Chains A and B, each alone.
Chain A
Amino acid sequence: AQSVTQPDIHITVSEGASLELRCNYSYGATPYLFWYVQSPGQGLQLLLKYFSGDTLVQGIKGFEAEFKRSQSSFNLRKPSVHWSDAAEYFCAAMPFRSNFGNEKLTFGTGTRLTIIP
């Protein structure tokens, strides 16, 4: 079955420290991959996406993610976190089809990021 796994339920980092949030996927073929961020009580904001090509993708707010086919991973990173980065982060995947077709997005369970001063 297709699935997205985020092994870390909750991560706490100090402001200014680096961050890595893990995401693994299980699909028959490499899916399209996404990271979303959700602040409390808010909607889902797309941080970045991977469709193909360069395995290191840049997103908004200084985030980047690296796709590693050998590890079926798409980890999110930020070199230096800010207090405003505190939020819930969701990794998501959609099966690959050349024209996207009628595919759905499957989310991981999320990682809650807490920033300490």
Chain B
Amino acid sequence: EPEVTQTPSHQVTQMGQEVILRCVPISNHLYFYWYRQILGQKVEFLVSFYNNEISEKSEIFDDQFSVERPDGSNFTLKIRSTKLEDSAMYFCASRGTGLLFFGPGTRLTVL
């Protein structure tokens, strides 16, 4: 069964450093998403991506965030200068014409 994969599973970084979270969506999917879940809180939408551009982004997705699909298979989320409050679980998801399929998540810890 096809699945969304994410790497790394856990990333620890120092405040102010750049991080790149990687996702490999399901191969024939067209829509890609990043969600964030701060520990103990709800799952929040960050950004959606379709046809090689951002379709929608939330207020959380400020100038420190960017997304890219560099090679037709990977889908990345970059945080340019991490803050303590960026510590969270980040979920990637992809969709063809129906359901969203979520990856297992990357736990980001900012020290």
> Looking across the interface, which residue of chain A has its beta carbon closest to that of B95?
A100
Contact B104 A104 (CB under 8 A): no
Q: Which of A13-21, A57-65, A70-78, A107-115 sits within the interface?
A: A107-115
Contact B55 A102 (CB under 8 A): yes
CB interface residues, B 25-63, toward A, < 8 Å: 31, 33, 35, 41-45, 48, 50, 55-56
Number of B interface residues at 8 Å Cβ cutoff, please give it.
Answer: 24
Question: How far apart are A3's CB and chain B's nearest CB, in angstroms?
Answer: 11
Say whether A43 faces chain B, with CB atoms less than 8 Å apart: yes
Q: How far is the CA of A104 from the CA of B91 in the complex (A)?
A: 13
Of listed A42, A49, A94, A107, residue having the most chain B CB within 10 A: A107
Prevailing SS type, chain B contact patch: strand
Interfacial residues, chain B to chain A (CB-CB below 8 A) = 31, 33, 35, 41-45, 48, 50, 55-56, 91, 93, 95, 97-100, 102-105, 107
Instruction: Jot down 27 A-B pairs with beta carbons below 8 A, ordered by A.
Output: A41-B107, A43-B91, A43-B103, A43-B104, A43-B105, A44-B91, A44-B102, A90-B42, A90-B43, A92-B43, A94-B100, A100-B95, A100-B97, A102-B31, A102-B55, A102-B56, A104-B33, A104-B48, A104-B56, A105-B35, A105-B45, A107-B42, A107-B43, A107-B44, A109-B41, A109-B42, A110-B43
Interfacial residues, chain A to chain B (CB-CB below 8 A) = 41-44, 46, 49, 90, 92, 94, 99-100, 102, 104-110
